[in-house]
């Protein structure tokens, strides 16, 4: 089942997916806005900037002409930062064949519009075979062929199953899911909690604090997701608790690394610069905070992290604020049947 794949975005995750797809026997043409970076990848047969140590198979070919690449594609993969997805998709949309499968791997909520990535895509092009791919998946490990499991979600199950067939192999296992809202929100919101877990680590707190952050974080994510139409069970799956675990505990996680530096006293802007790549949680914090206010959902962890990244409170004050909240029943949300 050979496919011509057009992949936009030659960062670490895009490169890892390109390598995986090529190993599956597909032809993968990769385009990136940074043409010099793309040329270097083609020459070195390696993405030394974002994914060093992973050799690009013959099936991965850098492509300077994105329009031609898209026109020939059976599958189009968007691996651009969430806040740039609208621009990338708007530019590409008219060149994507009507029968092509579109797979987006960005995790975030767009600032200002407060839309998920699928909502942006369908607002630009209503007739679209769209799939979201999300789950616990560090590019550094996928690129090396380490066992990884993710979920693909779509409004039409057959589209998710098609993506499952295209991506799945003996180390990259794919599960399908019908809840695209839940899968997209889980992948987005976990980055906020990972910032919090990193801040906790940077402050020198222990495993108890991080476990509390993660556990109450998944409750907050679920409460928010259900209010926006997602299924509660999705947040117990790969794109929810699975992605939360890996992002909150690994040094591969940009969000956790950024949080650690903030917890150690570094200014948020400087911490982002030190990471050197996009820290999606910084943008999603703003969007989720605003959207929670709009729909009337209580999100104490998000509110605390929002205060920290905007310099309204210190990291220590954020922890004190969370620890001194009024008494609650652990399963209060279940009792209220949100």
| CA-based nearest residue to 71, from 97, 91, 45 | 97
* E-strand stretches of the chain: 4-8, 27-31, 46-47, 51-55, 60-62, 75-78, 101-104, 129-134, 148-153, 172-177
pLDDT of residue 107: 96
pLDDT of residue 332: 67
Could you read off the pLDDT of 46-83 as tens digits, one per residue? 999 999 999 999 999 999 999 999 999 999 999 999 99
In the chain the first and final C-alpha atoms are separated, in Å, by 44
Average pLDDT over residues 253-278: 95
Catalytic positions, written as ranges: 190
Could you read off the pLDDT of 270-309 as tens digits, one per residue? 999 999 888 999 999 999 999 999 999 999 999 999 999 9
pLDDT of residue 37: 97
> What is the average pLDDT score of the chain?
95
pLDDT of residue 338: 44
Give the integer Cα–Cα distance in Å for 269 and 247.
20
Please give the model's pTM, rounded to 2 decimal places.
0.95
Percentage of residues in the chain having pLDDT higher than 70: 98
Average pLDDT over residues 253-262: 96
- For the chain, which domains are there? 4-178 (3.40.50.720), 181-336 (1.10.1040.10)
């Amino acid at each position: 089942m050979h496919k011509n794949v057009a992949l936009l975005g030659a960062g670490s995750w895009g490169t890892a997916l390109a390598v995986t797809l090529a190993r599956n026997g597909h032809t993968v043409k990769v385009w990136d806005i940074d043409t010099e970076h793309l040329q270097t990848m083609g020459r070195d047969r390696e993405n030394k900037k974002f994914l060093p140590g992973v050799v690009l198979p013959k099936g991965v070919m850098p492509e300077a002409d994105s329009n031609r690449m898209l026109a020939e594609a059976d599958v189009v993969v968007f691996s651009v930062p969430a806040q740039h997805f609208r621009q990338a998709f708007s530019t590409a949309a008219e060149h994507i064949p009507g029968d092509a499968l579109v797979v987006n791997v960005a995790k975030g909520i767009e600032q200002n519009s407060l839309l998920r990535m699928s909502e942006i895509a369908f607002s630009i092009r209503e007739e679209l075979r769209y799939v979201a791919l999300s789950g616990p998946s560090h590019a550094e490990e996928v690129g090396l062929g380490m066992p990884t499991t993710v979920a693909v979600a779509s409004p039409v199950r057959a589209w998710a199953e098609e993506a499952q067939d295209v991506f799945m192999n003996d180390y990259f296992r794919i599960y399908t899911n019908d809840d695209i809202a839940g899968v997209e929100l889980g992948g987005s919101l976990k980055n906020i909690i990972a910032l919090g877990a990193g801040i906790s680590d940077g402050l020198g707190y222990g495993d108890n604090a991080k476990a509390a952050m993660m556990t109450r974080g998944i409750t907050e994510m679920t409460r928010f997701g259900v209010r926006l139409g997602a299924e509660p069970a999705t947040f117990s799956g790969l794109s929810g608790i699975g992605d939360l675990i890996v992002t909150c505990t690994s040094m591969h996680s940009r969000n956790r690394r950024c949080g650690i530096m903030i917890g150690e006293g570094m200014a948020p802007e400087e911490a982002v610069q030190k990471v050197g790549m996009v820290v999606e949680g910084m943008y999603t914090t703003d969007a989720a905070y605003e959207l929670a206010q709009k729909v009337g959902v209580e999100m104490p962890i998000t509110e605390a992290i929002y205060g920290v990244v905007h310099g309204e409170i210190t990291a220590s004050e954020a922890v004190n604020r969370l620890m001194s909240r009024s008494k609650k029943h652990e399963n209060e949300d279940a009792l209220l049947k949100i």
